[in-house]
């Protein structure tokens, strides 16, 4: 595996606001990312799907976590339960993904990946999680790689890419081997059994790893150190748990509550 350093110019420990500052604003919205910035979080984590292709367009890179908007846009105006891949971007842009969190965020729309990168890079670093169930002929990794290339120096040293889908992640690596990538995993029924303990990191040739924190202990940290793969576990909202993870040698954490982690991060700060 060719070594690609994980955000080498960014101070440790790394702190990613999970789906933005999702404890203070609706997840994966510009409002949530701005809240993270206001709180002082140095990084954000987000999720990307591809919308349905239209005439002259191969689809847009839409920032959202779930396959549908049923959870984040309940009611009649959520695309009628269709997946993001089945919706055109024009349809997606009409969906309100803020009101479910609070009426104060009514009218928030799903952003494009490029919009987030343009506003927040390079001041903040961003982990882009590829959301895909495909095993072949997946346009997502290529479109993400093309978007990053188009933005050029703006995203240099400010972006990582990760996924549960090891094949999707490996494909992205072929398009852009200079971006650090991470295999994600947890021991959950929706994750293929072979990947529940991190085997996907070998298939994806990932440079660092993002396991659920429940699967992180001293033995595992030692193994990752031998493999030279930094650890950034998720999702950690308790400062005591964050301190434990960092004390084990994790290079960073992902949190819904970055505003509660800043004092701890400063205690561990080096870089």
Residue 240 has pLDDT above 90, yes or no: yes
Phi-psi sector, 14: left (phi>0), alpha (psi -120 to 50), beta: beta
| DSSP SS3 for 227 | helix
72, pLDDT greater than 90: yes
- From the number of C-beta atoms within 10 Å of its C-beta (0-12, 13-18, 19+), residue 253 rates as buried
pLDDT exceeds 60 at position 1: no
- Position 2 scores a pLDDT of 66
- The pLDDT of residue 228 is above 90: yes
Q: What is the pLDDT of residues 105-117, one digit of tens each?
A: 999 999 999 999 9
List the domain range (segments joined by +) for residue 188. Answer: 14-66+112-268
According to DSSP, the residues that pair with 212 across neighbouring strands are: 234
Label residue 271 by pLDDT band (50, 70, 90): low
Per residue in 152-200, pLDDT tens?
999 999 999 999 999 999 999 999 999 999 999 999 998 888 889 999 9
pLDDT score of 57: 85
CATH number for position 120: 3.20.20.190
Task: Report the 10 Å Cβ neighbour count for 140.
Answer: 22
- Average confidence (pLDDT) over 251-256: 98
- The encoded tokens of residue 200 equal 């996907």
pLDDT of res. 10 = 97
Q: Is the pLDDT of residue 26 over 90?
A: yes
Is residue 213 situated within a structural domain? yes
Is the residue at 147 inside a domain? Answer: yes
Distances (CA, A) of 270 to 119, 159, 251, 266: 26, 20, 11, 8
Q: Is 43 helix (H, G, I), strand (E, B) or coil?
A: strand
Integer Cα distance of 35 and 23 in angstroms? 10
Residue 5 confidence (pLDDT): 97
Residue 107 lies inside a defined structural domain of this protein? no
Rounded to whole angstroms, how far apart are CA atoms 79 and 94? 9
Handedness of CA 103, 109, 110, 113 (dihedral sign): negative
Q: How many domains does the chain have?
A: 1
In the chain, pLDDT over 70 holds for what percent of residues? 98
CA distance 93 to 123: 26
pLDDT tens digits for 60-70?
A: 999 999 999 99
Domain presence at residue 80: no
The yes-or-no verdict on residue 269 having pLDDT over 90 is no
Asked whether residue 249 carries a pLDDT value surpassing 60, the answer given is yes
The answer, yes or no, to whether residue 80 has pLDDT greater than 90, is: no
Mean pLDDT of the chain: 95
pLDDT for the residue 173: 96
């Amino acid at each position: 595996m060719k070594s690609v350093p994980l955000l080498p110019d960014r101070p440790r420990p790394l702190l990613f606001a999970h789906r933005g500052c999702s404890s203070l604003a609706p997840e994966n919205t510009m409002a949530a990312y701005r809240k993270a910035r206001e709180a002082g979080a140095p990084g954000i984590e987000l999720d990307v799907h591809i919308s349905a292709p239209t005439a002259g367009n191969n689809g847009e890179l839409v920032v959202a976590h779930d396959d549908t908007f049923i959870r984040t846009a309940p009611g009649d105006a959520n695309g009628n339960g269709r997946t993001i891949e089945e919706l055109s971007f024009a349809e997606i842009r009409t969906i309100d993904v803020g009101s479910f969190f609070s009426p104060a965020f009514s009218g928030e729309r799903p952003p494009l990946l490029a919009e987030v990168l343009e506003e927040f890079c390079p001041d903040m670093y961003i982990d882009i999680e590829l959301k895909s169930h495909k095993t072949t002929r997946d346009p997502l990794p290529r479109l993400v790689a093309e978007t990053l290339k188009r933005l050029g120096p703006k995203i240099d040293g400010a972006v990582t890419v990760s996924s549960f889908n090891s094949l999707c992640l490996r494909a992205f690596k072929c398009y852009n081997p200079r971006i650090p990538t991470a295999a994600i995993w947890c021991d959950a029924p929706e994750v293929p059994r072979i990947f529940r303990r991190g085997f996907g990191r070998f298939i994806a040739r990932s440079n660092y790893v993002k396991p659920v924190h429940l699967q992180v202990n001293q033995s595992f940290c030692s193994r990752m150190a031998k493999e030279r793969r930094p650890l950034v576990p998720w999702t950690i909202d308790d400062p005591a748990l964050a301190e434990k993870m960092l004390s084990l040698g994790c290079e960073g954490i992902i949190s819904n509550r970055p505003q509660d982690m800043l004092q701890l991060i400063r205690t561990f700060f080096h870089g």
